[in-house]
Amino acid sequence: EPEVTQTPSHQVTQMGQEVILRCVPISNHLYFYWYRQILGQKVEFLVSFYNNEISEKSEIFDDQFSVERPDGSNFTLKIRSTKLEDSAMYFCASGYRQESYEQYFGPGTRLTVT
């Protein structure tokens, strides 16, 4: 069964450094998402992406964040200058059709900012 994959599974970085989190969505999916979950808190939406552009973004997704689909398979989230409060699990998700709405989640990347 096809699945969303994410790398790395765990990333440790120092405050102020740039990180890139990588995702490979399911191959025939067209809609892509990033969510994050701070330890012990709820899953929060960051951004949705369709047809090579951002469809919607949350207040969390400020100028420090960017997304890219550099080729036909990868979907990346970049944080330019990490802060301590960026420490969280970051989940990538993908979906196939507008009307099905179902989103398949990857296993997540645990980001630790020290």
CB of 97 to other proteins, least distance (A): 10
Query: What Rg, from alpha-carbon coordinates, does the chain have?
Result: 13
H helices, E strands: number in the chain: 0, 11
Distance CA 91, CA 69 (A): 16
CB of 12 to other proteins, least distance (A): 16
Pairing of strands 109-113, 10-13: parallel
**CB-nearer residue toward other proteins: 17 or 55:** 55
**CB-nearer residue toward other proteins: 8 or 16:** 8
CB of 16 to other proteins, least distance (A): 27
Binding stretches for other proteins (CB under 8 A): 31, 33, 35, 41-45, 48, 50, 54-56, 58, 89, 91, 95, 98, 101-108
